[in-house]
Amino acid sequence: MRFAVWGLTGTLALEDEAGAPEAQRTLWRWLDAFDRACNRFDPASELSALNAHAGQDVTVSPLLAQALEVALRAADATDGACDPTVEPALGALGYDADFDVVRQRPDHAARPPVAALGPGAVTLDARARRVRLAPGCRLDLGATAKALACDVIADALAPTGGVLVEIGGDVAVRGAGPDGPWVVGVADTGSPGREPRVYAHGGGLATSSTRVRTWRVGDEVAHHVVDPRTGRPAAGTYATATVAAPTCWQANAFATAALVWGAGAPERIARAGWAARLVTREGTVAAVGGWPVEEPACSP
């Protein structure tokens, strides 16, 4: 099943298609729940309300508390390279609405960059579900929330058999497919048909790229992966990073961080114990940490 959500395409695949109707209902229940909790572009979402009350204690739903906890864990695991406090930086770059809206606008006027405040600006009591943002702090959970959604939906469907959930290049796998391990395409540019393919036995796989979600800001081309230290689009060694990890949110966090880390990414990913496929701006491919052997690229 193919679907569209948040300006992205997604895939739901099952080992046993007989369960598809109920699986689709489960999928949309969770996607709606994540949208209400974590969509920074919806003024009625929980995250928008939290951002509007920086400096105050706010009680949040269990789902938003989980999403915030994961975002902070991702920041800690990546030494701040994957940072949920980059919302003001994205806003300064013109990414203040759904991407379909942003890319259809005329060129954005250049604005001064805004460095992220860092995860220390977020105080979370996960058990009590209480959150306080430092004054001026606003959160964007785009680097982890949709990956977490893939994990949560896959976990919810796993008791009925093997399942693959993919949203915008983030993939969560539980169990096997109808013919054995799932086969997942790894795209460099977002254009399907010629991508290499790997076997996925479980866990998560995520791709981040500076080439796909782009728009013009003044005389430059901006993209959605921000270096929290500078507030500027990441401009490191790698244009695309695909990471395999035990969960989709971990894979996404390290794929995002790899584009910020640049030349240091292979060592950091290997030290974490994950595997990765990194593509430089010139197109050179580097395999890290036991990245699986790829099948030849497929023709359209």
Q: Is residue 293 assigned to a domain?
A: no
Q: Is residue 251 assigned to a domain?
A: yes
What are the phi and psi torsion angles at 210 (to 5°)? Answer: -95, 5
Q: Is residue 298 assigned to a domain?
A: no
Q: Is the dihedral of CA 133, 136, 140, 143 positive or negative?
A: negative
Distance CA 178, CA 269 (A): 31
What does pTM read for this prediction? 0.91
Q: Is residue 22 assigned to a domain?
A: yes
pLDDT in tens, the chain (300 residues): 999 998 889 999 999 998 999 999 999 999 999 999 999 999 999 999 999 999 999 999 999 999 999 999 999 999 999 999 999 998 888 787 777 777 777 777 778 888 999 999 999 999 999 999 999 999 999 889 999 999 999 999 999 999 999 999 899 999 999 999 999 888 765 445 567 888 888 999 999 988 777 767 776 777 878 999 998 888 889 999 999 999 999 999 999 999 999 999 999 999 999 999 999 988 888 899 888 655 554 433
Q: Is residue 122 assigned to a domain?
A: yes
- What is the residue-wise DSSP string for 284-298? -EEEESSPPPPBPPP
Q: Is residue 41 assigned to a domain?
A: yes
Quote the crossing angle between the two packed helices 248-261 and 265-272, to the nearest 10°.
150
- What is the residue-wise DSSP string for 23-45? HHHHHHHHHHHHHHHH-TT-TTS
Write down the pLDDT at residue 294.
55
CATH number of domain containing 100: 3.10.520.10
Domain count, the chain: 1
Write down the pLDDT at residue 173.
97
Q: Which domain holds residue 79?
A: 2-288
Write down the pLDDT at residue 104.
73
Q: Is residue 299 assigned to a domain?
A: no
H helical segments located in 175-296: 248-261, 265-272
Torsion of CA 28, 29, 31, 35, to 10 degrees: 130
Write down the pLDDT at residue 235.
87
Q: Is residue 168 assigned to a domain?
A: yes
